Amino acid sequence: KHLENEGNIPYCSSCEGYRFPVFSTAVSMVILNKEQDKMLLIKQYGGADYILCAGYVNKGEDAEHAATREIAEELGLQTVGLRYNKSEYFEKNNTLMLNFSCIVASECLDGLTDEVDQAEWFSIKDARTNIKKGSLAQRFLENYLEKSHGLEPFTAFKDS
Q: Tell me which residue of 38, 42, 25, 61 sits closest to 113, measured CA to CA.
A: 42
Q: Is 54 helix (H, G, I), strand (E, B) or coil?
A: strand
Fold category of 23-156 in CATH: Nucleoside Triphosphate Pyrophosphohydrolase (3.90.79)
| Residue 111 contacts residue 76 (beta carbons within 8 Å) | yes
Residue ranges of domains in the chain: 23-156
Asked if 136 contacts 51 with a C-beta cutoff of 8 angstroms, the reply is: no
Q: What is the pLDDT along the chain (160 residues), one digit of tens a residue?
A: 778 777 887 788 888 887 767 789 999 999 999 999 999 999 999 999 999 999 999 999 999 999 999 999 999 999 999 999 999 999 998 999 999 999 999 999 999 999 999 999 999 999 999 999 999 999 999 999 998 755 556 667 666 5
